Amino acid sequence: MSPVRVALLGCGTVGTALVRLLAEQAEDLTARIGAPIELAGIAVRDLSRPRGDIDPTLFTTDALGLVTRSDVDVVIELVGGVEPVREWLVEALRAGKSVVTANKALLAQDGPALHAAAAEGGADLYYEAAVAGAIPLLRPLRESLHGDTITRVTGIVNGTTNYILSAMDSTGADFADALAQATALGYAEADPTADIEAYDAAAKAAILASLAFHTRVTAADVYREGITAVTAADMASAAEQDCTIKLLCIAERIDGAVSVRVYPAMIPRKHPLAAVGEAYNAVFVEAEAAGELMFFGRGAGGAPTASAVLGDLVAVGRNRLSGMRATAESVYADLRVRPIGEALTRYYVRLDVADRSGVLAAVASIFAAHDVSIATVRQDGQGDDATLVIVTHRATEAALAETVRQLRELSGVRAVASVLRVEGS
Amino acid sequence: MSPVRVALLGCGTVGTALVRLLAEQAEDLTARIGAPIELAGIAVRDLSRPRGDIDPTLFTTDALGLVTRSDVDVVIELVGGVEPVREWLVEALRAGKSVVTANKALLAQDGPALHAAAAEGGADLYYEAAVAGAIPLLRPLRESLHGDTITRVTGIVNGTTNYILSAMDSTGADFADALAQATALGYAEADPTADIEAYDAAAKAAILASLAFHTRVTAADVYREGITAVTAADMASAAEQDCTIKLLCIAERIDGAVSVRVYPAMIPRKHPLAAVGEAYNAVFVEAEAAGELMFFGRGAGGAPTASAVLGDLVAVGRNRLSGMRATAESVYADLRVRPIGEALTRYYVRLDVADRSGVLAAVASIFAAHDVSIATVRQDGQGDDATLVIVTHRATEAALAETVRQLRELSGVRAVASVLRVEGS
């Protein structure tokens, strides 16, 4: 049986785990694919770095040369980032090499170009590892729920921020301390920007929304807010409401359009996503017929990500041997992306107010004037220390923003101390 | 585009939901498959039963005639049970008609015959709805985790028993009352035997084990204990240990063999499966590289089950149009099934003892004599009302059974009040 020959791009944590698994599982993989897998080469930036017991003749710095070599069947890309990876993958796909990638940034920015190249070359493009690491999620969305209509996807898709927010919730730490702890334990990178500013989660949200709603959503379509502004006081406010705060990626279909956004939000403790702690990921899916589904597991790490890559590799290998191809990208729905101002959610608003007659009435009338309906209101304290806590029904972001703007100008309101979105209730 | 013509066998709750979804989602389904779906006929037992607004000319009582009709491409089977369904599906598959079925009993008893017929006819056999209803579970096990080694699957796969046990846990009700409540609310059937005696869960366990470990496991290989013997006192004992009791299906791979069993067991409240309430299903998967994964959702009901069937139908339809076939059954591992006596778990044992000197020593020495190592022990009460609560480390079922037999004969032991397995810790 002629082997499936694999070019590996990148040999960091995931790549090293993958090479190890390829060796350890060689027998099972051969049985599952119907042919052995053989490493044809590994492209790295630095040839001088020690690579353990991996055959040194496999390494090259010429990624483009490797992926287009005639003896390569499949390309596994674990380098990440948009450039120069895009060219390597486009050329590989055009040359008929199937690609397995974990590159969410590239997929979220330029997915259509990759899919087009795959169609041109008659090759497969698989990317289970790009969202929620080891959790089998994309294939279920793409295939299992094909006969259903997904209405909403709510996910915790970034382990670093979930670790930080979980620590803030359980210890009362503020953001800076929790980030320092995450960095010390290896959950946050030296430059944590992509995680804490939610660029990573936004890319994943774009991929999830595209698959869930059979339409094209790119990273630029995703409204994004990171977690750097979440305070210990916010977390305490959430706890008072029997909630916690999670960085949520939300993709929903409303009136023939999609809304895709990533932001920290309060979520009730009884919601299945609230219990997702540490660096775990989970994605909650609501579908018309299937109802509520949740997928839970490790979102990152060498071995978990390598597991997802290997699952794709087996699929690609089997397709290759049987002359099949994966089902192509399905974007027939072509839905409009709603701007963030149209997004509908509930809000928690905490105001420091002067406790004098008429303030509550003035506050309530500002909410009413913008059609932001109040669900609950609670006033604590007296005199200049009074606090007004308001939770609204669903309203648009635009209406809430204008409400908050006017509240800031109201004479009885000393400060808008906290504004948090409330999801999942 | 020539349509994909579907024969439907059975038109109860799921079948009716399916016919409705086929109509409602016709446009999306056509886009996803690349061709419209057309109902060629519906086989039912009783033609006189009212069928709402479904075209009456579609109905027939001749299931075998329908599935072998030359204008039928795909057969969806929602009748359930082994006979006479087996013949219908075998004949359909042999004739090259792909089959989508929710029939766990048939698959667990005679899966190999169906797979062989599918291979013979060059047809697909899909059965996502057979385990955990709407939860996309089988495809992830079959495909996404293909590159990994699954070590253990622990599932709550029967909604009726989960509803009953959840009610017993939250209200302190005994089994009979909780069953009566489940029956009144429609969660239990008039004859609940298949659910409460765990025949249903055992069939699903066989299917899960086969997929997870690439081997053949039939219902006869599964050790099965229902929940009828679970008492309110057992549930209270579990609560004392910060646990609850769930009917678990467990499939694990140990030393090149598989152990597959279904029984009620204590599970710590902090385990993700403990929070799965009401009639929900969830399956917890442990894999060498991926780590811990969990899949959660609705395990039964018309629309959720129909969603899973539709997902399979789309896959089958796409395969048909592209001339592809699903990957065949993968049973290369051919693992031995361990008898229940070899199963390893922890145990909770509550003894009513006489509080006199020497009893604890005698009890402890019986455990020791059978290599059942004690993890914790607690003695409460005095005189003839003393209770001894022992939680063991992992030991074999055979060793525990022999331990319990000897404890019953010990003069200081007035009764072995409760023996429960402890999983997930």
The complex's ipTM works out to: 0.85
CATH number of the domain enclosing B171:
3.30.360.10
Q: What is the pLDDT of residues A264-312, one digit of tens each?
A: 999 999 888 998 999 999 999 999 999 999 999 998 889 999 999 999 9
Is residue A307 domain-shared with residue A390, that is, in the same domain?
no
Q: What is the pLDDT of residues A166-191, one digit of tens each?
A: 999 999 999 999 999 999 999 999 99
Q: Is residue B331 part of a domain?
A: no
pLDDT(A368) > 90 = yes
CA torsion sign, A160 to A268 to B308 to B150? Answer: positive
Residue A17 CB neighbours (<10 A): 21
The verdict on a CB contact (< 8 Å) between B144 and A311 is: yes
Q: Is residue B333 part of a domain?
A: no
The verdict on a CB contact (< 8 Å) between B297 and A297 is: no
% residues pLDDT > 70 (chain A): 100
Q: What is the pLDDT of residues A74-125, one digit of tens each?
A: 999 999 999 999 999 999 999 999 999 999 999 999 999 999 999 999 999 9
Q: What's the structural domain count of chain B?
A: 3
Q: Counting every residue, how long is chain A?
A: 425
CB B7 within 8 A of CB B68: no
Q: CA of B213: which chain A residue's CA is closest?
A: A28
The whole-angstrom separation of Cα A113 and Cα B200 is 47
Q: Which of A77, A75, A73 has its CA nearest to residue A36?
A: A73
Per-chain mean pLDDT for chain A: 93
Which class for A78: exposed (0-12), middle (13-18), buried (19 or more C-beta within 10 A)?
buried
Which class for B60: exposed (0-12), middle (13-18), buried (19 or more C-beta within 10 A)?
middle
Which residues in B67-103 are b (16+ Cβ under 10 Å) and which e?
A: bbbeebbbbbbbbbeeeebbebbbbbbbbebbbbbbb
Picking from A136, A306, A322, the nearest residue to B144 by CB comes out as A136
Q: Which residues of A touch B139 (CB under 8 A)?
A: 139-140, 143-144
**DSSP-assigned beta bridge partners for residue A287:** A150, A291
Residue with token string 């309110």? B232
Is residue B211 domain-shared with residue B292, that is, in the same domain?
yes
Q: CA of A213: which chain B residue's CA is closest?
A: B28
At A327, the pLDDT band (50, 70, 90 cuts) reads low
At B308, the pLDDT band (50, 70, 90 cuts) reads very high
Picking from B25, B291, B313, the nearest residue to A134 by CB comes out as B291
**Within an 8 Å CB–CB cutoff, is residue B61 touching chain A?**
no
Mean pLDDT of B94-120: 95
Residue with token string 């796969």? B157
Q: Is residue B328 part of a domain?
A: no
Indicate the angle between helix axes B159-171 and B175-184, nearest 10 degrees: 120
Structure tokens at B387: 């209770």
**Domain finish residue from A322, A356, A389:** A322
Structure tokens at A173: 């730490």
Q: What is the pLDDT of residues B109-142, one digit of tens each?
A: 999 999 999 999 999 999 999 999 889 898 888 8
The whole-angstrom separation of Cα B9 and Cα B374 is 54
Is residue B164 domain-shared with residue B278, that is, in the same domain?
yes
Is residue A312 domain-shared with residue A354, that is, in the same domain?
no
**Domain finish residue from B244, B264, B298:** B298
Q: Which residues of A touch B289 (CB under 8 A)?
A: 17, 21, 134, 303-304, 306-307, 310
Give the DSSP letter string of B255-307. TTEEEEEEEEEEEETTSGGGG--TTEEEEEEEETTTEEEEEEEE--SHHHHHH
The verdict on a CB contact (< 8 Å) between A296 and B301 is: no
Q: Which of A29, A33, A142, A294 to mutate to test the interface with B (most CBs of B within 10 A)?
A: A294
Task: Tell me which residues of A are annotated as active site.
Answer: 204
Assign residue B186 a region (left: φ > 0; alpha: ψ between -120 and 50; beta: otherwise). Answer: left
**Within an 8 Å CB–CB cutoff, is residue B304 touching chain A?**
yes
In the DSSP assignment, the letter for residue B112 is: H
Q: How far is B328 from chain A (nearest CA, A)?
A: 10
Q: What Cα–Cα distance (Å) separates residue A373 from each residue in A203, A234, A345, A376, A392? A: 33, 22, 12, 9, 6
First to last CA, chain B: 55
Give the DSSP letter string of B117-140. HHHHHT--EE-GGGSSTTS--HHH
Is residue A100 domain-shared with residue A74, that is, in the same domain?
yes
Q: Is residue A330 part of a domain?
A: no
The A residues from 110 to 129 touching B (CB cutoff 8 Å) are 128
The B residues from 8 to 27 touching A (CB cutoff 8 Å) are 17, 21, 25
Q: Which of B151, B204, B335, B333 has its CA nearest to residue B258?
A: B335
Q: Any idea of the CA torsion for A73, A75, A76, A81, to the nearest 10 degrees?
A: -170
Is residue A292 domain-shared with residue A407, that is, in the same domain?
no
Q: What is the pLDDT of residues A226-251, one digit of tens each?
A: 999 999 999 999 999 999 999 999 99
Is residue B166 domain-shared with residue B281, that is, in the same domain?
yes
Q: Which residues of B touch A297 (CB under 8 A)?
A: 290-294
Is residue B366 domain-shared with residue B348, that is, in the same domain?
yes
Q: Is residue A332 part of a domain?
A: no
Mean pLDDT of A326-331: 72
Structure tokens at B299: 């395990």
Which residues in B143-176 are b (16+ Cβ under 10 Å) and which e?
A: bbbbbbbbebbbbbbbbbbbbbbbbbbeeebebe
Is residue B143 domain-shared with residue B290, that is, in the same domain?
yes
Structure tokens at A402: 């204008």
CA angle B254/B203/B308 to nearest 5° reads 110
Q: Which residues of A touch B298 (CB under 8 A)?
A: 290-293
The whole-angstrom separation of Cα A74 and Cα A124 is 9
Q: What Cα–Cα distance (Å) separates residue B10 from each residue in B7, B47, B75, B302? A: 10, 11, 11, 12
Q: Is residue B327 part of a domain?
A: no
Choice between A327 and B45, residue whose per-residue pLDDT is larger: B45
Phi, psi of B179 (to 5 degrees): -65, -45
pLDDT of residue A125: 95
Q: CA of B137: which chain A residue's CA is closest?
A: A140
pLDDT of residue B59: 97
The verdict on a CB contact (< 8 Å) between A298 and B292 is: yes
Structure tokens at B313: 């139908």
Give the DSSP letter string of A236-251. HHHHHTTEEEEEEEEE
Assign residue A136 a region (left: φ > 0; alpha: ψ between -120 and 50; beta: otherwise). Answer: beta
Q: What is the pLDDT of residues A31-64, one digit of tens each?
A: 888 899 999 999 999 999 989 889 999 999 999 9
First to last CA, chain A: 55
The verdict on a CB contact (< 8 Å) between B291 and A303 is: yes
Residue with token string 């999983």? B423
**DSSP-assigned beta bridge partners for residue B337:** B258
Is residue A393 domain-shared with residue A293, that is, in the same domain?
no
The B residues from 325 to 364 touching A (CB cutoff 8 Å) are 325, 327, 330, 332-333
Mean pLDDT of A145-153: 88
**DSSP-assigned beta bridge partners for residue A284:** A154, A294
Domain that holds residue A62: 4-133+302-322
Neighbouring C-alpha atoms within 13 Å toward the C-beta of B183:
13
**Within an 8 Å CB–CB cutoff, is residue A289 touching chain B?**
yes
CATH number of the domain enclosing A74:
3.40.50.720
Mean pLDDT of B279-286: 95
Is residue A106 domain-shared with residue A219, that is, in the same domain?
no
Q: What is the CA radius of gyration of chain B?
A: 24
In the DSSP assignment, the letter for residue A186 is: T
Q: Which residues of A touch B272 (CB under 8 A)?
A: 275, 296
**Within an 8 Å CB–CB cutoff, is residue B295 touching chain A?**
yes
The whole-angstrom separation of Cα B109 and Cα B220 is 7
Q: CA of B294: which chain A residue's CA is closest?
A: A296
pLDDT(B327) > 70 = no
The whole-angstrom separation of Cα A131 and Cα A136 is 9
**Within an 8 Å CB–CB cutoff, is residue B170 touching chain A?**
no
Q: What is the CA radius of gyration of chain A?
A: 24
The verdict on a CB contact (< 8 Å) between A314 and B32 is: no
The whole-angstrom separation of Cα B84 and Cα B76 is 15
Q: How far is A99 from chain B (nearest CA, A)?
A: 16
Whether B204 is a known active-site residue: answer: yes
Instruction: Give the largest CA-CA distance in chain B.
Output: 85
The verdict on a CB contact (< 8 Å) between A146 and B311 is: yes
Is residue A165 domain-shared with residue A269, that is, in the same domain?
yes
| Among B25-34, B45-54, B74-83, the range of highest mean pLDDT | B74-83
CATH number of the domain enclosing B402:
3.30.70.260
Q: How far is A366 from chain B (nearest CA, A)?
A: 41
Q: Which of B218, B220, B270, B247 has its CA nearest to residue B157?
A: B247
At A388, the pLDDT band (50, 70, 90 cuts) reads very high
Residue B364 CB neighbours (<10 A): 14
The verdict on a CB contact (< 8 Å) between B147 and A330 is: no
The answer to whether the bond into A136 is cis (omega within 30° of 0) is no
pLDDT(B328) > 90 = no
pLDDT of residue A244: 97
Structure tokens at A85: 């990876």
pLDDT(A215) > 90 = yes
Q: Is residue A329 part of a domain?
A: no
At A260, the pLDDT band (50, 70, 90 cuts) reads very high
Mean pLDDT of B96-116: 95
pLDDT(A10) > 80 = yes
pLDDT(B381) > 90 = no
Per-chain mean pLDDT for chain B: 93
% residues pLDDT > 70 (chain B): 99
Q: Is residue B399 part of a domain?
A: yes
**Within an 8 Å CB–CB cutoff, is residue A143 touching chain B?**
yes
Give B248's contacts (C-beta < 8 A, 6+ positions apart): B154, B155, B156, B262, B263, B264, B265, B267, B273, B423
